Amino acid sequence: MKVEAPPRLELVGVSKSFPGVRANDAINLKVRSGEIHALLGENGAGKSTLVKMIYGILAPDEGQILFDGALARISNPRAARRLGIGMVFQHFSLFEAMTVLENIALGLDARLSQRELLAEFHRVLDAYHLKLDPRRIVSTLSVGERQRIEIVRALLLDPRLLIMDEPTSVLTPQEVEQLFETLRRLSAGGCSILYISHKLHEIVALCDTATILRGGKVVGTADPRRETSRSMAEMMIGANLKEITKPAERIFGPPKLETQNLSLPKPTEFGVSLKDVTLCVRAGEIFGVAGVAGNGQNELLSALSGETLAPGAEAVILSGEPVGRLRVTERRNLGLCAVPEERHGHAAVSEFSLTDNASLTGRDRMAFVSFGLIDPGKATTYASEVIGAFTVKATGPGALAGSLSGGNLQKFIMGREIMQHPEALVVCQPTWGVDAGAASAIHQAIVDLSARGSAVLVVSQDLDELLTLCDTIAVINLGRLSKTMKVGEASIEEIGLLMGGVHGDPSATIELTEQLHAHPV
C-alpha cells in the first residue's frame, strides 16, 4: 500500500493576537508538494499575519507549523530560508544605485565568490527561462525586471515553498504572463507556491487550490478552476456582490477638465517630469489613466489638483476656465475635487477626527463656514452622512482617522469628495486596499457621479478596474500620455505594451502608440 507523502506545509490550530485584535484564529491549512495554493481574503482577514508567521517574521501564540511532516520552529526569516521557504514581498527591497548581481548578493545568507554567484545566477536563469543582465544598474530596469531580481534571489535558495505576496500589482499584462510561466515551471519541479492576490481572475488562471480567510478564520476552500472571480469574491465577503450598473446610453457633454501640452520638471531627484500631457474629460465621462507605478501618475494628479502650479494658466482648464496658475482652494471653489494615492498624511490627517477631516476639503463647498468660523454642527452632520452613505466602519464622526482600517478610511475619503458633487473629480487608486464589496460600492458611486454630469478622471494600476469602470483610457509612461482609446476598442495587449513603454524609451512609446493605432493588435 502506497503511503501518501505529508503536505509540504501544514498549519494546525495556528493563532495570533494583537492588543484588541485576534488576527488569526485556529488556522488549519495544508499545501501539497508542487501545488500553487491561493490565500484569499479581504483586507484585515489575516493573510499578512499568517504568511509572516510562516516566514518567521512573527511567532504564533498557539498551534503548530509542520514542514514536510516535521514540526518546524521558525524563529526568524533566516531559519525559514534554511528550511527551504522563500518569500517575494509586494514591495521590493532593492538598492537602485547598485547592480543586479550586487543586490542579489546582499540578500543571500551564504557567502559566495563573485564567480560562484554568477554561475548560480545563470543556472537559475537557464532553468526558468528568465532574462536579466547581472551588470545592469537597478534604477535603469523596468518594474517587471526588478521583480525578477527578487524572484531570482529566492530561487537561488532552491526553495521548496515560495510565498508570493501580491506579485502582479505593478506589472504589465505581458510581465504577468512571464511570471506565471516561471511559477508553473517551479510547480512542475515540485516547489509549492503560496500565492496572495486580490486579482481573482489570476487565481482562476493559475492556482490549484484556494483557502479563504474572513475575520481571521478559515471559512472555506475552493478549486479555482471550478469557480469564477465573482463566486470567490462572494466567499471572501460572505455576501452577494452587487453588479455595477451603468446607464444604457452614455452621452457625454462639453469638456469639463482639460490639459493642453502640460509639461513640468520632475519635483524631486526621484520624481518624473511631465511631457506635453494633453487630455480632455467631458461631462458624464469616466477617463482612465493606466500605467505602472512611478511613471508620473502622482505628478499628474498634483498638477490637476493645484498642489503643483503649471507654467501657464491655459495648461489646465476647468469648465472652460484656465486654472493652471490657481491653487488647490481656488480650484476646489470652482468645482474640482481630488483624492490622492496616499491616504495618511495626504488625503487625511490621522490625528484628526473624521469631522475635522471632512472640514479640510468640504468647508467651502458644503458651506460649513459662518462669519469666518466653521460650524461644528454642519461639519459633524456631513461627516455622519458620509459614514452612513459609504458604510464606513467607525465609532462615529468623532473617531480619529488613524483608528480606521485602511479600507474604511479609503471609503470615507472617497465619500467625502463624491458627496461634494464636484464638476470634476480626479482620483488616484480609488479602491487601493479595500475589499471586493467596498470596491464595488466605490465603483458604483463613481458611475453615479458621472451619470449626474461630473467628469471623472481615474488613475489606477489595476487594469481590470479601469476596463470595468471607464469609458475612455490612456496610458502614462515616463511622464508622457498615449493617445486616448475607447475602452471597448482597446485590447489588453495594446495597453500592456504601452504600459511597458518598450523598456522605458518614451520616444519608442509614442512611435508604438501610433503603430498600434494604424495596425491594431
Tens digit of each residue's pLDDT (9 = 90 or more) over 452-466:
999 999 999 888 889
Same domain, yes or no, for 252 and 306? yes
Using the 3D structure, point to which of 371, 389, 420 is the last residue of a domain.
Answer: 420
pLDDT of residue 176: 84
Residue 34 to residue 193: CA distance in whole angstroms: 7
Give the number of domains in the chain.
3
Is 28 in the same domain as 124? yes
Beta strands in 41-197 (DSSP E): 62-67, 70-71, 85-88, 161-165, 192-196
Q: What is the pLDDT of residue 20?
A: 83
Q: What is the largest CA-CA distance in the chain?
A: 87
> Is residue 4 in some structural domain?
no
Q: Let me know: does 86 contact 162? Beta carbons within 8 Å.
A: yes
Torsion of CA 289, 291, 293, 297, to 10 degrees: -30
pLDDT of residue 172: 76
- Where does a domain end: 420, 450, 476? 420
Neighbours of 201 (CB within 10 A): 13
pLDDT of residue 286: 97
Quote the distance between the C-alpha of residue 423 and its chain's center: 27
Same domain, 494 and 520: yes
Residues 113 and 216 in one domain: yes
Please indicate, yes or no, whether residues 50 and 185 belong to a single structural domain of this protein. Answer: yes
Give the residue from 200, 220, 237 where a domain finishes: 237
Q: Which residues of the chain have pLDDT under 70?
A: 1-3, 170, 270, 433, 501-521
User: What is the rounded distance in angstroms from the CA atom of residue 176 to the CA atom of residue 167?
Assistant: 9
pLDDT in tens, 117-151: 999 999 988 888 888 899 999 888 877 788 889 88
- Dihedral of CA atoms 170, 466, 350, 416 in degrees, nearest 10, equals 170
Are 121 and 144 in the same domain? Answer: yes
Chain Cα centroid distance, residue 368: 34
pLDDT of residue 441: 87
> 263 and 160 in one domain?
no
3-class SS of residue 429: coil
> Do residues 86 and 232 share a domain?
yes
Residues facing residue 288 across a β-bridge: 458, 473
Same structural domain, 265 and 186: no
Question: Does 326 share its domain with 432?
Answer: yes
Q: Are residues 272 and 394 in the same domain?
A: no
pLDDT of residue 316: 98
Report pLDDT for 1.
Answer: 56
404 and 274 share one domain: no
- Which domain range does residue 259 map to? 242-335+422-521
Would you list the DSSP string of 183-208?
HHHHHHTT-EEEEE-S-HHHHHHH-S
| CATH number of the domain within which 43 lies | 3.40.50.300
Q: What is the pLDDT of residue 440?
A: 86
What integer pLDDT is reported at residue 508 of this predicted model?
42
pLDDT value at residue 36: 97
